[in-house]
Structure 1
């Protein structure tokens, strides 16, 4: 996977769902289910609740409100890592043979996200991931904390019905996981990026009953890593300058009723070329692009609980091959504001 860690993990717990092709009668039934009745809440508000439960990065809490969300994610990444290149002479002709190492990494992430409403238009969040990772091809495994991330989400303008809602965010990623630059590459696996990151961006959402359209754009600065002291490719790696990352996402959520919703989203990240300084030479890596399609189903299991189940797949070589997950709010006594 080309873009790892929680800049993505911080930027990110995402809206996922599939495109819905429905006949006209099905659409009318959905609209009727969402229409306001004497004993119902406003349909737009109900749709917004479904949307916010599916995509936490768009949610703002009232002042003093607190929520705790549990999310489980699974990803599979298959790759072929080149180990050595051998050159042999055959009747005066050079023959090149590539020796590769197959990788199949299974990652299981249990994440707890705590959100707190500082003001009505400012929400603070912190995310703690616990990661178990297996490489079935090389028979390696690791169980450790991932990269801790914090974020602030700010809505500068009041929400006006019928108009888009814009929020701005700032993310801070901390290298609390197992760094790929501190491990033995032959017998260890990493659970983090190994560097600090700071991300800024904006989210936009718009309700068109019974649909919510949404999108976001952001940039993350990844801090340099010094004093690495790790052998890679037969050379001593001393310093790494990760490239910055641009991110983009878009999609929509469709509410079939107050209790069931479907959504789909496209997410992409483009990382600029990283630079490496070895003991005897300097060089740079390649730019990487990760793109993922996600699909999700939201089910309201109680008046204040919505459970989301999602599935997705990667679209580029730098993306995970398979993505699965679910999220749900945790009701802990004493957590809610009085």
Structure 2
């Protein structure tokens, strides 16, 4: 009995093979028959669904390729182009983050064709997906598909992030130059060189008024052309992700050319003299604190506090001397200063917002100049005049926009204005007196171009054009910040 049972079981299994094959053939035939029994309109709708699903898959792949490229640049959406095995990739339909394959046509054919009315809200013949993407960029899974085709939100030119954005290298260069230090870098060495040019003309009168209407004497036109070349090293160090400190040490070379007319009593004769000097400039220290980190609705806000020390040569006490013994019209200072001669404290705040690829920035600062006493402030040879000098406190504000036209290059334009009230002097035992003509308004238009060489080195070029007589004619400079 046992032998009969053992012999019968293999026979039953063998008989099940053709039965399974028959059932598979019948199911395939039924699917084919169901497809053949459909009307032309139903077949067209089915094919439309296949095409729409393929288009959705193609669009999803294009989006993921874009995000993979952006991830390599440091600006990809989390979860796209992330390393295999990461949590973001694990959430995708496929193990590698790519969409699942398309379902076979037979599965699509078994969906109720009446739900695909041509021209209706769920499908068209123009390639619009039957199931449109849901708000936020994720699409609803089509009936019969094995998973949703993920659609990343956020495209180039429309960066609205819910968290602190991941900036491109060119955008980071703009932030470092126009806004504040990069807090995510521990150490940055920023070396730069700039040339500031001034051209000043002044009417010089030497004589007196007769009958309060007629001037008797010499009328000359004096001109001063000056170049100030400054090379400085700014060392910045990030203490935390919100606090950074820096120290800037400048070295200044100055060249001035003084030109006057009326040499030898002839009005059409010019004479000139040149003067050079070089020395350490005013060293300054800074502390930065990031109050707000940038999000989709909040800009990046950084406060700063800077202190400048009078380490450069002071302009007070320099005597104006006659350059040539036979030309009394040509006079020039004995030396050129490289500093202001004062301690000052500057408190400021800067704001920056990124709308990839556009960066908007602005700043406001107030500089308090500490009064200082000097043993001599007179410029006349043989005369000594002790006094206390108080420079006017400076209010400076400005703003601009930068455009990152690639992941390594950006251009910016900005406007800055500095308002300084009149300076005051006080003799020992006296009261402060206003210095006539010392009130200034300096307004400049700035143009910048940044290029990222690699992840450590950036080249920042700038040109500033003076818009008022108190501002320099122009400033040309280049900086090389190197981050570690």
With the length of structure 2 as denominator, give the TM-score of the two structures. Answer: 0.57
Q: Distance in 2 between matches of 1:307 and 1:193?
A: 29
1:205 correspondence with 2:327: no
Alpha-carbon offset, residue 52 of structure 1: 2.5
Q: Is the 8 A contact 2:316 2:378 kept in 1?
A: no
Alignment of 1:24-103 (within 5 A): 36-38=67-69, 39-42=72-75, 44-46=166-168, 47-55=170-178, 57-62=179-184, 65-81=186-202, 85-89=206-210, 93-95=213-215, 98-99=219-220, 101-103=222-224
Offset from partner CA, 1:29-83 (integer Å, 9 cap, x none):
xxx9xx743433217510531312433x5224237x1111101110101113566
Alpha-carbon offset, residue 236 of structure 1: 2.6
Tell me whether 314-323 or 183-192 shows the greater mean CA deviation: 183-192
Tell me whether 104-113 or 271-280 shows the greater mean CA deviation: 271-280
Partner of 2:233: 112
Offset from partner CA, 1:235-264 (integer Å, 9 cap, x none):
835221111000101001100001211101
Structure 1 residue matching 2:174: 3-state secondary structure: helix
Alignment of 1:1-338 (within 5 A): 36-38=67-69, 39-42=72-75, 44-46=166-168, 47-55=170-178, 57-62=179-184, 65-81=186-202, 85-89=206-210, 93-95=213-215, 98-99=219-220, 101-137=222-258, 138-185=273-320, 186-232=333-379, 236=385, 238-278=387-427, 283-285=433-435, 286-330=438-482, 336=484
Partner of 1:19: none
Q: For the structure 1 residues 173 and 310, does the alpha-carbon distance in structure 2 shift closer, same or farther, using more than 3 Å as the test? A: same
Q: Distance in 1 between matches of 2:434 and 2:384?
A: 14
How many equivalent residue pairs? 296
Alpha-carbon offset, residue 164 of structure 1: 0.7
Structure 2 residue matching 1:231: 3-state secondary structure: coil
Alpha-carbon offset, residue 271 of structure 1: 0.5
Structure 2 residue matching 1:49: 3-state secondary structure: helix
Structure 1 residue matching 2:167: 3-state secondary structure: helix
Unmatched segments (≥5 aa) in structure 1:
1-31
Q: Distance in 2 between matches of 1:59 and 1:181?
A: 35
Q: Distance in 2 between matches of 1:229 and 1:167?
A: 41
Unmatched segments (≥5 aa) in structure 2:
1-62, 77-165, 259-272, 321-332
Offset from partner CA, 1:106-135 (integer Å, 9 cap, x none):
010001000011221011011001100000
Q: For the structure 1 residues 325 and 235, does the alpha-carbon distance in structure 2 shift closer, same or farther, using more than 3 Å as the test? A: same
Q: Is the 8 A contact 2:209 2:215 kept in 1?
A: yes
Structure 2 residue matching 1:48: 3-state secondary structure: helix
Kindly indicate which of the two structures has a greater share of residues assigned to helix: 2
Q: Distance in 2 between matches of 1:134 and 1:72?
A: 16
- Specify the structure having the higher radius of gyration (Cα): 2
Kindly indicate which of the two structures has a greater share of residues assigned to strand: 1
Q: For the structure 1 residues 135 and 42, does the alpha-carbon distance in structure 2 shift closer, same or farther, using more than 3 Å as the test? A: same
Alpha-carbon offset, residue 306 of structure 1: 1.6
